Amino acid sequence: MSRLLYALGALALGQNALAAPQLSPRATASLDAWLATETTVSLNGILNNIGSAGAYAQSAANGAVIASPSTANPNCK
């Protein structure tokens, strides 16, 4: 009986190994290059969410930081 269980376990492991997807790297540039561009994008996104001068927070009180400019799904007005 133990040989049968061993064989079934080996078969299951073998099928999982064959079914595993082949992964390929997603990054095409270095981390330093990504950080250099992402830093600017992130900082601008944060500043845009600070009222009343922020592009996405013009209706917010002066200096208030909003989490998201979205007012739909759910309605956060």
Q: How many CA atoms lie within 13 A of 16 on its CB side?
A: 6
* 25: DSSP letter: -
Q: Which residue has the higher pLDDT, 33 or 9?
A: 33
**Over the stretch 47-73, which tens digit does the pLDDT of each residue have?**
988 888 888 888 888 888 888 777 777
Summary mean pLDDT of the chain: 75
Tokens of 58: 């013009």
Alpha-carbon separation of residue 71 from 3, 67, 77 (angstroms): 62, 11, 6
Domain segments of the chain as ranges: 33-77
Q: Which residue has the higher pLDDT, 42 or 5?
A: 42
Residue 31 has pLDDT above 80, yes or no: yes
